Structure 1
Amino acid sequence: MVNAVVARQLGIVHLLRNRASVPAPELASRYGVTERTIYRDMATLAAAGIPVQATPGKTGGYRLGPDTALDPLTIDSDHALRLYVLGFVEPDTAGPDRARAAGVSDTVQDVVRRLAQGIHFDTADWYWRDEGSGHLPVLRTAMLTGNVVDAAWRTKTGQQATALLKPYGAVWKAGEWHMVAARATGGPVERFRLNLVDRLQLTDLTFPYPEDFTVRTWWETEMEDYGKGDIPVTLHVAPAARDELLRLSLKSTSQIDEHDDDSLTIVLFVDRWEWLIPLVSSYGPDVTVTEPTELRAATAHRLRRTLAAYDDTDAGPPPDAAPLNDDSRLRSTHGRHPGA
């Protein structure tokens, strides 16, 4: 069930979309709260990027700017993030009784429910590049109307592929949009990075949404299975890298052993150890490979090549360097294939 604060804020936005201006006292009376609470609501909406404007004077109040971002049939990457921030597209926000009490029509509720079913935000990696959002208008329409799309995309090997796809939803992860879809000719559900899609066009073909399917559940299972295998990789993590390594999205099979000196031993079970080379190398002496020996040797080779690139006998003593205290290293390596 959606909490009262979110329901009230959703109701306020819906009311402002249909009124030129609404005074704060009227909003406070309508929702049974104080004017100070309404002021906080407006600050929250504005901070989330909703274009709330205050109009002065006796007939003044609050209104939405002309570039309102919450037309329920308009979703691009920026708008979708705003919806997420306010909690409007999570599945439990579609409680009909609470939403109806907040003044949200059944039509808008239905749109929100359908968006909640088809849009998932994986925020394990929180940085923003907004790639592939140019295809979102077509994808949005196909999701809402149940139309098959004619797609052309580039594979990871650079080859061109085409197919008719049934789009079940969209997922935002690490600044990239992914389309979750199945081929119209049959087969398993797949994910397609929108920044690799060259063509996405609506067709007249329609499809029924599969029963008992939710994009969020499918995606979480897909991410859990991605990269998981039977090859054990043992890492020794020094205290300096402890907090950062614990932020990694580990698999259910991963093992963590904490030591008295605050260091860690982490055991990962992966399908290929090669993708760990750039991650481990980025930590220098703070993360070392115990096994397999192949990964240990490959990491050492990479570090020696890096050292050779910086080797300068006339460079003098090393300068004092401040410790790395942000997540730039984690963001630049986590989840990245070595060739990416």
Structure 2
Amino acid sequence: MTVDPARARQLGIVHMLRSRTNVPARELADRFGVTERTIYRDVTTLTAHGIPIQACPGRVGGYRLAAETALDPLTIDSDHALRLYVLGFLDPPDPAEPVEERARAAGVSDTVQDVIRRLAQRIHFDTADWYWRDEGSGHLPVLRTAMLTATALEATWRTKDGRQETGLIKPYGAVWKAGEWYMVAARTTGGPTRFRLNLVDRLQPTDLTFAYPEDFSVREWWARAMEDYGKGDLRVTLRVSPAARDELLRLSLKSTSRVHEHDDGSLTIVLFVDRWEWLIPLVTSYGPDVEVTEPAALRTALVDQLRRTLARYAPTEPPGAVPTPGLPQDDSRLRSTHGRHPGA
């Protein structure tokens, strides 16, 4: 069987990352005789197939494998999964070709094939945001087993307002997003929702099983959830200077957002959001390069925020003055990078 050179190179990339803590993109490009742009595409392809590769910031930069991998060595041999990918099992160039023949050529048993199918259906790496933390991964062994065996879990989690809840849940999938793990699960009634694993205090297996919906894809569900997250009817218009143009164009916007380019290199970005409070830290971080032109209430809130910031460095308020509330303390700050860019 002929192996696609690109797939063979991608397998080599993963093996290099397994043996090193950090490999610069330039070194990978030199090793395989390709451009750095090709390496970037290879890494994007590998992460899309569930290989947890992290981008390392810093002067040298590069890539490494995440400390917590999606494929537990005790569950299946990750080399099996890589060989399946390289031989086109996970992303076959010819969908008409029987995948069983490719799997047998890779030396992978029917049992492992079934496990990989289910893992690919239940575990998704959303690499749109490159912020790396390792929170909540201690629950992954229990969650992984429950997903593969369709076992219900008894969970205790904290809500955004600080309350603690306990309930029976059906785990449908796990998603790695912006350096955090999320569990996609349904309660005893209603459809699936997402739980941040770092807000989950306890996951306890039960002796109850559930029927996993055959047509459910965590990747597709997550894409819809991210598109809906933060959307609303409130119109916000941003005027972006040429200096901030490239940075703002890298934000993941919603399908309802609009981007207008001007001859001087500036932008006008129109957003439709559920509430504008989450835009305060985003806009203030760009200083004078991003201006809100509407709504007036957001402009007023930004002025108040900037005044409080200035007062921190050059205090002018009289002693005993009561400070006004600061930035929102929930996860709304992340909303600016959820969804997708209109041109994607």
**Mapping of 1:296-311 within 5 angstroms?**
296-311=299-314
1:168 aligns with 2:172: yes
Q: For each residue in 1:223-264, what CA deviation from the matched residue of structure 2 results, as whole angstroms up to 9, or x when unmatched?
A: 000000000000000111111111111000000000011100
Q: Which amino acid is the alignment partner of residue 335 of structure 2? A: G
Aligned to 1:159: 163
Alpha-carbon distance in 2 for matches of 1:201, 1:121: 24
Q: Give the secondary structure class of the aligned counterpart of 2:134.
A: coil
The equivalences for 1:208-219 within 5 A come to: 208-219=211-222
Q: 1:124 aligns with which of 121, 124, 128?
A: 128
What secondary structure, in the 3-state scheme, does the structure 2 residue paired with 1:79 have?
A: coil
Mark the CA change 1:312 to 1:229 in structure 2 (over 3 Å): closer, same or farther.
closer
Q: Residue 249 of structure 2 corresponds to which residue in structure 1?
A: 246
Instruction: Output one character per residue of 1:272-305: Cα deviation in whole Å (capped at 9) or x when no partner.
Output: 0111011001100000000000001111211122
Pairwise CA distance, 1:112: 1.1
Q: Residues 250 and 223 of structure 1: is their aligned pair in 2 closer, same or farther, counting only changes over 3 Å? A: same
Aligned pair partner of 1:261 in 261, 264, 272: 264
Query: Are 2:195 and 1:195 aligned?
Result: no
Moved more, 265-274 or 98-107: 98-107
Superposition TM-score, scaled by structure 1 size:
0.70
Q: How does 1:33-48 map to 2 (within 5 A)?
A: 43-48=12-17
Q: 1:149 to 1:312 in 2, by over 3 A?
A: closer
Please state whether the residue corresponding to 1:139 is helix, strand or coil: helix
Quote the offset at 1:97 in angstroms.
3.2
Cα distance, 1:306 vs structure 2? 1.1
Greater CA radius of gyration, 1 or 2? 1
Matches within 5 A, 1:1-340: 4=4, 43-49=12-18, 78-80=68-70, 92-93=90-91, 95-183=99-187, 185-311=188-314, 334-335=334-335
Q: Equivalent residue for 1:62?
A: none
Q: CA deviation at 1:150?
A: 0.5
| C-alpha distance in structure 1 between counterparts of 2:15 and 2:267, whole Å | 43
**Structure 1 residues 265 and 228, CA gap change in structure 2 (3 angstroms):** same
**Paired letter, 2:210:** F
* 1:6, distance to aligned residue in structure 2 (A): 7.5
Amino acid corresponding to residue 202 of structure 1 in structure 2: P
C-alpha contact (below 8 Å) 2:230/2:335 kept by paired residues: no
Q: Number of aligned pairs?
A: 260
CA distance in 1: counterparts of 2:89 and 2:102, whole angstroms: 14
Q: Assess, with a 3 A threshold, how the Cα gap between structure 1 residues 155 and 297 changes in structure 2: closer, same or farther.
A: same
Q: 1:334 to 1:237 in 2, by over 3 A?
A: farther
Q: 1:245 to 1:333 in 2, by over 3 A?
A: farther
Q: Aligned partners of 1:265 and 1:175: how far apart in 2?
A: 30
Q: Which secondary structure does the structure 2 equivalent of 1:253 belong to? A: coil
Q: Give ranges in structure 1 of 5+ residues lacking alignment.
A: 9-39, 52-75, 314-331
Q: TM-score, normalised by structure 2?
A: 0.69
Retained in 2: the 8 A contact 1:279–1:334?
no
Superposed CA deviations along residues 38-86 of structure 1, whole A, max 9, x for unmatched, are: xx677523333268xxxxxxxxxxxxxxxxxxxxxxxx96222997x96
RMSD between superposed Cα atoms in Å: 3.0
**Percent identity between the aligned chains?**
68
1:318 — aligned with what?
Answer: none
- What is the distance in 1 between the residues matched to 2:249 and 2:19? 34
